[in-house]
Amino acid sequence: MNGFPWGAFALNLAWAAAAALAVMLVTFAVAVRTGLHRIVDVAWGIGFTAVAVVSLGASAEEGDLVRRLLVTALTAVWGLRLAVHIARRGRGHGEDPRYEAMLAKAPGNRNAYALRMVYLLQGALVWLVSLPVQAAQYVSGPPSALTLAGVGLWALGAGFEAVGDAQLARFKADPVNRGRIMDRGLWSWTRHPNYFGDFCVWWGLFLLTCDAPEAAAVSVVSPVVMSLLLTKGSGKRLLERHMADRPGYAAYAARTSGFFPRPPGPR
């Protein structure tokens, strides 16, 4: 495993952890002041962007410059778009029902419980999931066909997320659609275009590490964890449980793919 700068990468892991923690602590302070813990969802994309920028600086003497700039730019574009979208979506709303239900059961101080169970946990996930973003900065070889494949997969995922989010926002903005199930555009091909997009983004970023087997080996946990979270954890499973009793949802689910896009079935 000679050739990969393990010492510099280990130091980067510490810098990345500090960056993720700083974003979450600042967000926690704002949440306590405003009384809204839903803003932690905005910090998710910002946290990845912070890790990417810190890793770019920390790897200045190590990896290929083109790859370093590329992985930083892809992460920042994805993370900042997501943060802006979530901030706009939540503007003018109160606390997210998920966090309200969680904090209602908090033993003792609600804010202290939120710090432990929401902010620090999300900070740890940002650090873990960002491993490809960190490791790619230390790959010394020039970009290859695998890098191009990763960019293509990232672009597919980012496009699915952005288009799916925009379609859903327009649908919800029309009062005629109140109480109806969104089953148009990308939402007719998959019930979760945003989660499928996330899946592609993180497997795409992982491919940027694959020119160095050591970097790929240490990073593969990231897309695996994200895939499990999106399909079995806090993503698809919880959302579908919440939507299950909505009028028309059972018929929509019967004709529409649960994750990977495919042409919709007959109505």
The token pair at 6 is 């393990």
In angstroms, the CA 139 to CA 195 distance is: 28
| Long-range pairs of 101-109 with CB within 8 A, sequence gap ≥ 24 | 103/37
| pTM across the whole model | 0.93
Q: What DSSP character marks residue 235?
A: T
Residue that the structure tokens 């999931």 belong to = 129
218 pLDDT above the threshold of 80: yes
20 pLDDT above the threshold of 70: yes
Q: What is the pLDDT, as a whole number, of residue 2? A: 52
25 pLDDT above the threshold of 90: yes
- Structural domain spans, the chain: 6-255
Q: What share of the chain in percent tops pLDDT 90?
A: 76
Q: Quick: pLDDT tens for 177-192.
A: 988 999 999 999 999 9
Burial of 193 (0-12, 13-18, 19+ CB in 10 A): buried
| Integer angstrom CA distances of residue 119 from 33, 122, 127 | 15, 5, 12
In angstroms, the CA 31 to CA 36 distance is: 5
1 pLDDT above the threshold of 50: no
Q: Half-sphere exposure of residue 98, counting CA atoms within 13 Å on the CB side?
A: 13
What confidence category does residue 235 fall into, taking pLDDT thresholds of 50, 70 and 90? low
In this structure, are residues 101 and 238 in contact, taking their beta carbons and an 8 Å threshold? Answer: no
Cα angle 249-252-255, degrees, rounded to a multiple of 5: 150
Mean pLDDT of 62-82: 97
If one counts every other C-beta atom within 10 angstroms of the C-beta of residue 20, the result is 27
Q: Quick: pLDDT tens for 2-14.
A: 589 999 999 999 9
Residue that the structure tokens 């802006």 belong to = 84
Helix residue ranges, H only, the chain = 6-34, 40-58, 65-90, 97-104, 110-114, 120-129, 131-136, 145-173, 193-207, 213-219, 221-231, 236-243, 249-255
